[in-house]
Amino acid sequence: MDVEALVRPVVESAGLELWEATFRKEGGRMVLRVMVDREGGVDLDAISETSERLSRRLDLEDFGRGRYELEVSSPGLERPLRHPRHFERSVGAKVKVKTVEPIDGVKVYEGALVSADAEAIVLATDGGELRVPYENIASARTVFEWGADRSRR
């Protein structure tokens, strides 16, 4: 079942961007977690309205065929970066990247995200700029910095 394809139309009809949607077992229960965003961020009203719309749509689709919890939230200040569009939207932000294979003997990098395209990202690290192809990224997230300009989100 393609969870993102099911929830994307509902999220976009609310004027929001679907950041990520996952459906998995957590602690003995099934959880549908939907992260939404928009330029300038989302507020509690937008999240609540989207949650209600999604709940109605999922009931119509007979989603899950059993009990599950629906969680709708923003990606947060330290947001996960999983798709090229996430990286593209976060250019200029400080990020932490863990690689699958070490680069110059190192697997964890932190620095400013200089650029992102369809194949790779470029980080500004203490040792200079570093190009990391997406297939070598195990995990990545933005790093919150007090007082930093976060107008890109």
**Integer Cα distance of 95 and 144 in angstroms:** 9
Q: Is the confidence at residue 146, as pLDDT, over 90?
A: no
- Digit-coded pLDDT (tens) for 14-43: 999 999 999 999 998 899 999 999 988 899
Helices 3-13 and 44-60, axial angle in degrees (round to 10): 130
**Integer Cα distance of 16 and 38 in angstroms:** 5
Q: What is the pLDDT of residue 60?
A: 85
How does residue 149 score in pLDDT terms, banded at 50, 70 and 90? Answer: low
Over range 143-152, report the average pLDDT: 70
Q: Is 43 exposed, middle or buried (0-12, 13-18, 19+ CB in 10 A)?
A: exposed
Over range 105-130, report the average pLDDT: 95
Q: What is the pLDDT of residue 62?
A: 75
Cβ of 107: how many Cβ atoms within 10 Å?
13
**Integer Cα distance of 97 and 131 in angstroms:** 11
- Digit-coded pLDDT (tens) for 40-97: 889 999 999 999 999 999 888 877 667 889 999 999 989 999 999 999 999 999 999 9
Q: Is the confidence at residue 4, as pLDDT, over 70?
A: yes
Q: What are the angstrom distances between the C-alpha of 61 and each of 3, 11, 12?
A: 12, 16, 18
Mean pLDDT over the full length of the chain: 91
Across the strands, what pairs with 111?
95
Over range 104-117, report the average pLDDT: 96
- Sorted by where each starts, the structural domains of the chain and their CATH numbers stand as 3-73 (3.30.300.70), 84-142 (2.30.30.180)
